[in-house]
Structure 1
Amino acid sequence: MKVFISVDMEGIHGAVSWSDMEGNGHQTVYENAWKELSWIVEGINRSKYNDEIREICICDSHARGEGIPFRSFGDSRINLIRGYPRPFYMLEGLDESFDLLMLVGYHAKIGALHGLMDHSYSSSCIYCVRLNGQEMSEADINAMLASHYGVPVCFVSGDDILEKEIEEHFPIPPIFICTKQGLGRFAAKMYFEDNLKPKFVEGAMQAIDRKDTFKPLTLAPAYDLEIDFASTVIADAVSVIPGLERRGGRRVLYRSTDMRSIYRMIHAAAMLGGKFAAFT
């Protein structure tokens, strides 16, 4: 059995703003991410299926993928994917050989009321991401790419607003650990580690023990990807990508039957669009 763990930072306990990850407090947030992962590893080790697990792949999936301290978890099955850019970004390395996916430190989609640091792949240039007409979060889209490989999501952690989105969008919701309550984009009611650690350990253990409960999402035969950008100049720039159709001042459309192509297009648009976010 193989377990893939994708780690973002906005949903990590203690973090309320991006300055937490870029200023004097950034080491605290990254250390907190390492702690959450260590609790998850402890829970996996307590699972009745622990002896069947031969690999645990952790993917540092925030910004340039250089946040998680490169420090051993004391488990030789674990490896860490770091760095940027990479074709499949938050799920780089995931394929059909994996059995379960965990999403750690995730956040609500752009525009979510009280969603802490709400955004969808790019806080600077993307205003909305829709797939076949439905607004999508990073957790939604990452789960769909995983489903392309037949891999279900078994565990998610983040704020309470994300928890509501997960409950609405997943027919069989994964184990969810709430790390904080969103009060606004940069404000939250926080939970301390003495409260969170036992929940993470138990949640991770249950996620593995109940592995057969979770199922991949049902994929559509074809996809219409619509991206609304923060400004028209971003759409001007991104619309030069072959295959994209301009559908309005700030909107582009991309069609594909392959979820991998959809995923890579989102990241191509975010990478190029980000270069024009402050263009005047």
Structure 2
Amino acid sequence: MTTTMITVPPRPTNPLDRLRWALIDGWVVGRTNLYHWRRNPGLITQCLMYPVMTVVFGFVFGSAMVVAGGGSYREFLMPGLFGQTMMFGIITTMMVTSSATAKGMTDRFRTMPMAQTGVALGRCVADVVTSVFELTILVVCALLVGWRFHDGIGPALGALGLLLLFRFALVWAGIFFGLILPVEAVGAGYVPLLPLTMLANTFVSPTQMPPWLGAIAEWNPVSATVAACRELFGNPGVVGDSWAARHAMLLAFAWPAVIMLVFVPLSVWRYRNLER
């Protein structure tokens, strides 16, 4: 009788080797998550239904709303819906992370000789890739209801990049909350997210709100990304004299950086300290 010995490679100690190790493991886990997503018709249907709703929303309200500064409401609305979609993606991240933890998948990853940050990076890879898919469908649907970008393909791609940056930052928040919340509590995440996306420049310009409410809306992270996207798309709605309104592009980079500075270490810490 022969015994097969499995040799576990030693953990790298060089910082560059550790980074390479984490990136490779992150890609492997991300690819695995994408396979699961592709075989889950419920998640695919969810990705398809929201863009269809945007078409309906644009047609129903497109001719009844007034845009501050003038312009088409449909062109004003669509960047807001893009930003809201990226924000709501945090629920998907929370659901998948919490479900994997409840089923013991996360614990199995922790017992394997892999980088501790690889699992979180893999979740980020999978969610960003699916967000690209969602944005592609959203853009096509937006074009169908009359939305257009006016400043060329380069700025338009830059706006889509800002949306994906925002989504990437929110993935880390979703991972953290998915690791601390049970599966049955994750669905309640829509309760705080809905007012957070409504109290922004998503559907109405903050200049059309009461001053105190408009000030809160202008400093909303969603508002920063949406305002910067409207500017890059050449869409109406880029108005306001406040510091936040005049520096939306800066805040579109600053808010994701702040979110990651907070939730990246929290997510890694929580992952490493899960109860066995």
What range describes the TM-score normalised by the shorter chain of this pair?
under 0.3
Larger relative helix fraction: 2
Q: Which has the higher strand share?
A: 1
**Which of the pair has the greater relative contact order for Cα pairs under 8 Å at 6+ separation?**
2
TM-score when normalising by structure 2: 0.25
Bigger radius of gyration among the two: 2
